[in-house]
Amino acid sequence: MSTTAAQPIRRIVIAGGGTAGWMVAAGLAKCLGKQYDIRLVESEEIGTVGVGEATIPTLHFMHEILDLEEKEFIQATQATFKLGISFENWRNVGENYFHSFGRTGSSHWTAGFQHFWLEGRERGLASDYGDYCLELRAALDNRFALLPDNGINYAYHFDATRYGQYLRRFSEKLGVQRIEGKIAQVHTDAASGDITGLQLDGGALIAGDFFIDCTGMRALLIGDTLGVRYESWSHWLPCDSALAVQTTSVGEPVPYTRSIAHPWGWQWRIPLQHRVGNGVVFSSRHISDDDAKAALLANVQGEVLRPPRVIKFTPGQREAVWRQNCVAIGLSSGFLEPLESTSIHLIQKGLTRLVELFPAGGICQSDVDEYNRQARDAIEHIRDFIILHYHVTNRVDSDFWRQCRDMDVPASLKHRIRHFRDTARFTPAAGDLFAENSWVQVMMGQGITPASHHPITRQMDDRSLADFLGDIRKDVARTLMKLPRHQQFIQQFCPAPGVDPAVVPQAIINPDARLDTVTLDGGAIVYVVDDFARDPDALVAQAAAGRFERIPGHPYPGPQLPLPDAVAAELDSFFRRRLGAELRMGAALGMSARFSRVAQEAATLDPRQRICHRDDSGLAAGEMVSASVHYLFKDAQLGGTVFFRSRMSDADTRQFLHDASTLDASAFGDRYGIPPGYMTDSNRYFEVIGRVPAKWNRAIFYDGAIFHSGDIRWAAGRAGYEAGLGRLTVNAFFKSRRP
């Protein structure tokens, strides 16, 4: 660390988006945004790991900080509720247990509830340990409701991509500036070693005073630039690979995550409102990628929405997560597999720790040291908890499990296991994420039976102990009976609007679709993608189920229907990733998309509707728009898209367009001699420079500043336009800054 005088911080730059980047952006903007300029750099071309779809109850604290409305968040992310994790085949094949988020029983100041339960078991007075926990019983009975006075402890399953998008919208409203681009070079000061700016591949330099590395496992700032070494924990955590896949929902979503152990690792199953997240975490030394993929696909339910993708990782932690003027948060700081859903918590904790220790007068070494100490303590406590699941097991059916059972574990974990096995005691350390009940559930669930328990339990006679245990169990049972089904509660409280998973798959765009081009006269290019949607019939069905409406004053000659958010988001992502550079788009400023149907009688068209048009009306200086049309009709005679250029001077063109917007139909016709009807061919004002014919499931993308029009032959094909959905298209508009 430099010994020069601390420099005040004014500009904060977050490198990378995704869940980590936008959680950090949202938290900093909410807590400190009035004092600092906050910018986030991300590229649509760079994907995110995106498997962190299960959370733990600490996320509530984050949402309290941001003052988020729970129902809105749930609907935006297609979330369901989570009461814990079902561990299947971990202790041994065919043996299951449950790690709940709730409180089990009642504790005494001298001893936790497990001591009283163990005494009750010895006397034949206690039933299953889970009978004394509401969250556990509710989860296994598929029930849930919000209860007064925090009467039920819960977390969420949600769509991680949607969560990032939700926090992005939140952050941008608070003034965070998003900058599109890939980081090509990180600049540092030769004297101090501090980072000074991020050079983007387009040439722009994003300067800053303080940098947050959210670049994921690439760790471009903390690792590549500042050279902070990564400490591997592979000798304790043997899995180094993961596969993720999404499937359609089958049956009601359960309020818990399923973790199913296999001979080479484990599998997750996470139900959302609109789909199910699935995946496997495995050791590549014990199974190949192809065999793991086959095992995953053989153990999922529902239709697979997109091909599985392999994620390689090394469990571990950076030797320091704050170095110089850079803090690493998220996967750039370290990685722990998602066994106990701690990834998003570690992002949240990194953020809140940074806010607590934010260098008000400039960076000082004591803040850096304290941040690094707390970060290491926090992740090491979680590391030990995860190792516990692998190490304490009765499985001997594979080399993988035998190695896990026999391995030497960290001294801190070794003491906790021995202490609990000997005495049933668990002593939490300062900063422990998982409380006593979590450790007790997992240690007993994995097969530890304590040799003794606290003698205070023997102060109670049989009747007193039976009443104590019975009252807790009856209270749990009474409350459980009042809870609705999980799905019923979601439908009543927070049903997510939009896509019906039985109609529209989330992975709408065909990953194998090929990009072709059509060059217009003059050199402009239209990008053409055939076989664009994986299931175009599902999109048509979605449109048929919706309610089309004409928008008063809108020039489109027919009714429209908003495109579901999930479909629009994937379309936007495809465009930014595949075509943003080709169409020379700058930083994204938003998009809109809709289903559209041409349905207006040609003789009734107003002046705007009987001429070609551009999509750039209403843009501010320095802004631009690109557009797309996705043809969802099979009769090619209903027409594709025709492109024009003006034969007039720029001034005359502007006057022509102004008159089309202000004159009535009769006056416009008299002045320009253009009768009512759809414009499909050259006239004395515009000439055709190219056409793209319609084709079922074809999409085209083009610069919205090019004059264009639908190639509508109303007189010849009126019946086709009016029958059913007629000329159904998806029209989308992508707004950005000019680079």
Q: SS3 letters for 41-106? A: EECCCCCCCCCCCECCCCHHHHHHHHCCCHHHHHHHHCCEEECEEEEEEEEECCEEEEEECCCCCC
pLDDT at 1 over 50: no
Name, in order, each residue with C-beta under 8 angstroms of 673's C-beta and a sequence gap of 6 or more: none
Report pLDDT for 50. 52
Strands 210-213 and 326-328 turn out to be parallel
- Cβ–Cβ under 8 Å, residues 87 and 139: no
Res. 51 pLDDT band, cuts 50 70 90: low
Report pLDDT for 499. 43
For the stretch 225-254, pLDDT in tens is: 999 999 999 999 999 999 999 888 877 899
Integer Cα distance of 424 and 449 in angstroms: 8
Domain 11-445, CATH class in plain words: alpha beta
Buried b (16+ CB within 10 A) or exposed e, 497-525: ebbebebbbbbbbbeebeeeebebeeebb
Q: Percent of the chain beyond pLDDT 90?
A: 75
Integer Cα distance of 242 and 245 in angstroms: 10
How confident is the model over 95-106, as a mean pLDDT?
94
Distance separating the N- and C-terminal Cα atoms of the chain: 37
Report pLDDT for 542. 82
- Give the position of tokens 């994620």: 311
Report pLDDT for 690. 96
pLDDT at 454 over 90: yes
For the stretch 163-207, pLDDT in tens is: 999 999 999 999 999 999 999 999 999 999 999 999 999 899 999
Report pLDDT for 335. 94
For the stretch 462-502, pLDDT in tens is: 999 999 999 999 999 999 988 998 988 998 899 987 544 33
CATH of the structural domain 515-737, one choice from 1.10.260, 2.60.120, 2.60.40, 3.30.980: 2.60.120
Global confidence as pTM: 0.69
Q: Which of 618, 620, 564 is nearest to 593 (CA)?
A: 564
Do you know the residue count of the chain?
A: 739
Structure tokens at 688: 């055709």
E strands, 221-264, in order: 230-232, 241-247, 257-262
pLDDT at 505 over 60: no
Report pLDDT for 2. 44
Write down the mean pLDDT value for the chain: 91
Report pLDDT for 618. 67
Res. 5 pLDDT band, cuts 50 70 90: low
Name, in order, each residue with C-beta under 8 angstroms of 712's C-beta and a sequence gap of 6 or more: 557, 598, 602, 638, 639, 678, 680, 721, 727
Integer Cα distance of 48 and 732 in angstroms: 24
For the stretch 58-70, pLDDT in tens is: 999 999 999 999 9
Indicate which residues carry an active-site annotation.
82
Res. 355 pLDDT band, cuts 50 70 90: very high
Sign of CA dihedral 701, 702, 704, 708: negative
Which conformational region is residue 680 in: left (phi greater than 0), alpha (psi within -120 to 50 degrees), or beta? alpha
Report pLDDT for 9. 93
How confident is the model over 106-114, as a mean pLDDT?
92
Domain spans, the chain: 11-445, 515-737
Name, in order, each residue with C-beta under 8 angstroms of 163's C-beta and a sequence gap of 6 or more: 19, 76, 77
How confident is the model over 78-101, as a mean pLDDT?
96
H or E segment to which residue 199 belongs: strand 195-200
Q: Which of 611, 638, 657, 641 is nearest to 703 (CA)?
A: 641
How confident is the model over 320-334, as a mean pLDDT?
97
Res. 552 pLDDT band, cuts 50 70 90: confident
Give CA separation, 148 vs 141, 153, 341, 494, 495, in Å. 20, 11, 26, 17, 21
pLDDT at 391 over 90: yes
- Give the position of tokens 């032959």: 713
pLDDT at 503 over 50: no
Integer Cα distance of 575 and 159 in angstroms: 21
Give CA separation, 153 vs 58, 113, 147, 452, in Å. 10, 18, 9, 30
For the stretch 366-383, pLDDT in tens is: 999 999 999 999 999 999
- Residue 362 phi/psi, 5-degree rounding, is 115, 160
pLDDT at 717 over 80: yes
Structure tokens at 287: 């199974």
How confident is the model over 531-538, as a mean pLDDT?
88
Q: Percent of the chain beyond pLDDT 70?
A: 96
Q: SS3 letters for 412-462? A: HHHHHHHHHHHHCCCCCCCCCCCCHHHHHHHHHHCCCCCCCCCHHHHHCCH
Give CA separation, 708 vs 525, 643, 686, in Å. 13, 4, 10
Please report the DSSP string for 375-391 in residue order.
Answer: HHHHHHHHHHHHHHHHH
pLDDT at 617 over 80: no
Give CA separation, 562 vs 244, 451, 547, 594, 721, in Å. 30, 64, 9, 4, 20
Report pLDDT for 428. 85
* Of 695 and 587, more confident: 695
- Give the position of tokens 């450790």: 439
Task: Give 709's strand partners.
Answer: 642
How confident is the model over 117-136, as a mean pLDDT?
95
Chain-centroid distance of CA 225 in Å reads: 28
- Residue 171 phi/psi, 5-degree rounding, is -65, -45
Res. 509 pLDDT band, cuts 50 70 90: confident
Structure tokens at 516: 């072709």
Structure tokens at 515: 């990009």
Structure tokens at 617: 């009306």
Report pLDDT for 501. 38
